[in-house]
Amino acid sequence: MNIDTKRLRKNIEALAQIGRDPRGGVTRPSFSQADFEARAWLKDRICEAGLCYRQDGAGNIFGRLGGDGRTVLVGSHLDTVINGGAFDGTIGVLAALECLSRIKEEGLEPTKPLELVSFTDEEGNLVGDFLGSRAFAGFLNKEEVEKGLTTFGRPLKAILEGTEFSLDSILEAHKERPGLEAYLELHIEQGATLEMEGVPIGIVERIAGKIYHQCSFVGQAAHGGTTPLELRHDAFLATADFALRGTQLVATKHYGSMITVGKVAVHPGSFSIVPSKVDFTLDVRSSAGETLQALEGELLKLAEDIASTRGAAFFSRTIDRTEPVALSESITGIMKEECGKLGYSWIPLTSGAGHDAQIVAPLTETGMIFIPCRDGISHSPDEMIDWKDLEKGANLLLQTLLRLAS
Ligand SMILES: [Zn+2]
């Protein structure tokens, strides 16, 4: 039994029309008008496939095949970043729909119930990343949900006005969660390893954890024409020094981990004034918890050292923290066996990007399949896949589901 690639492609292309951005690509953040259109579209597809539709208080959408019992859950997310692509998340939900449709069409009756899921706001346009899967897992922080500001500058509560959802319904969504047997997710790699290796399938063994810090160096403003270099307390040079030496530290001592200084604001930001203050973001990732923690300590110490040599002060606060996750060895084992039977080549991968799978992983056995995306590009209108890779990824998903559900 195989998936119907034509139907899967048709569905992906149809969904890409909902929330089409005039600049190219797709803009479909959760609880936007485009998102509600996409939700209605998905509901129709779920009902058309003869699956049982339901939605929880966080707007996570489900399509169930089978009765009671511990559920094999499979899915991803339909929301996108602003001006994102047509494949990130979407292929996971629609491949899940395709797998369940095929099982239903063949009249198979797996021992365990299967359910597809589309999680709300994986991309973190609202309050923090993974709102829907964290609500599903019961990992939401009440204060963050109530007080956090969305990327649209409005509180979540205001965005929910006029919808069927509320802060309370989101916070209580986890009470509607079924008992879980396993969770599976198919996703684009969002990196270039598979493409470089010329392999269609990545079997994800770990998902990296991350730490976000909001940092500042505070020095002293001075005249750019008259202040001798040795008398300056230049907050920008401290930041540049930190970014460079921090990267060297990771590259030499913790190769494979990641550091990114992604957003920098220089104050006062004038042509001829020595910068007095620089605010910047620090994103640190690693697939091992001990490394992540050690790295955080080493980087903060480096920043303090740089501050003291340059006569500046360093401040930082933690914005977000996610622990690394090891995925289920029994599921990766099944996937490797099924790849062998299907004749697909595969490699093991660590995901540097976060996914709903890492939120669900503490609740149940969890597995993830990656397929290549062109040039490793994602979160962009240029996001593209090879449909043959998707066919393989979805067939592997189908065989893994059947193994887990029987
Ligand atoms: Zn995604």
CA distances from 234 to 242, 267, 269, 300 (A): 13, 11, 12, 19
Centre of ligand 1 to C-alpha 381, Å, is: 14
Is residue 127 pLDDT above 90, yes or no? no
Give me the pLDDT at residue 214, please: 97
Is residue 186 pLDDT above 90, yes or no? yes
Calculate helix-pair angle for 235-253, 289-309, nearest 10 degrees. 150
Is residue 165 pLDDT above 90, yes or no? yes
Among candidate residues 325, 395, 358, 356, the one with its CA nearest the CA of residue 61:
356
Confidence of residue 149 (pLDDT cuts 50, 70, 90): confident
What is the per-residue pLDDT across 263-274, written as a single tens digit (0 to 9) for each?
A: 999 999 999 999
Mean pLDDT, rounded, for 207-231 = 97
Centre of ligand 1 to C-alpha 218, Å, is: 36
Sign of torsion, CA 34 158 93 195? positive
Centre of ligand 1 to C-alpha 166, Å, is: 24
Is residue 8 pLDDT above 90, yes or no? yes
Buried b (16+ CB within 10 A) or exposed e, 73-94: bbbbbbbbbbebbbbbbbbbbb
Centre of ligand 1 to C-alpha 70, Å, is: 25
Centre of ligand 1 to C-alpha 51, Å, is: 24
What is the per-residue pLDDT across 273-307, written as a single tens digit (0 to 9) for each?
A: 999 999 999 999 999 999 999 999 999 999 999 99
Centre of ligand 1 to C-alpha 80, Å, is: 8
Centre of ligand 1 to C-alpha 161, Å, is: 26
Task: Supply 360's token pair.
Answer: 């669900």
pTM over 0.75? The answer is: yes
In the chain, how long is the greatest CA-to-CA distance? 82
Read off the DSSP letter of residue 161: T
Centre of ligand 1 to C-alpha 150, Å, is: 18
Centre of ligand 1 to C-alpha 279, Å, is: 28
d(CA 386, CA 159): 36
Centre of ligand 1 to C-alpha 204, Å, is: 14
Give me the pLDDT at residue 147, please: 86
Centre of ligand 1 to C-alpha 230, Å, is: 48
Mean pLDDT, rounded, for 156-181 = 95
d(CA 324, CA 297): 17
Task: Supply 49's token pair.
Answer: 């496939």
Centre of ligand 1 to C-alpha 373, Å, is: 12
Centre of ligand 1 to C-alpha 345, Å, is: 23
Centre of ligand 1 to C-alpha 122, Å, is: 7
Centre of ligand 1 to C-alpha 187, Å, is: 7
Centre of ligand 1 to C-alpha 351, Å, is: 11
What is the per-residue pLDDT across 71-90, written as a single tens digit (0 to 9) for each?
A: 999 999 999 999 999 999 99
Confidence of residue 320 (pLDDT cuts 50, 70, 90): confident
CA angle, 82 then 86 then 91, to 5°: 125
Mean pLDDT, rounded, for 235-247 = 98
Centre of ligand 1 to C-alpha 303, Å, is: 32
Centre of ligand 1 to C-alpha 88, Å, is: 5
What is the per-residue pLDDT across 22-44, written as a single tens digit (0 to 9) for each?
A: 999 999 999 999 999 999 999 99
Centre of ligand 1 to C-alpha 191, Å, is: 12
Centre of ligand 1 to C-alpha 391, Å, is: 18
Centre of ligand 1 to C-alpha 179, Å, is: 24
Is residue 108 pLDDT above 90, yes or no? yes
Centre of ligand 1 to C-alpha 55, Å, is: 20
Centre of ligand 1 to C-alpha 396, Å, is: 19
State the average pLDDT for the chain. Answer: 96
Centre of ligand 1 to C-alpha 352, Å, is: 12
Confidence of residue 322 (pLDDT cuts 50, 70, 90): confident
Give me the pLDDT at residue 128, please: 82
What is the per-residue pLDDT across 170-179, written as a single tens digit (0 to 9) for each?
A: 999 999 999 9
Centre of ligand 1 to C-alpha 266, Å, is: 32
Is residue 141 pLDDT above 90, yes or no? no
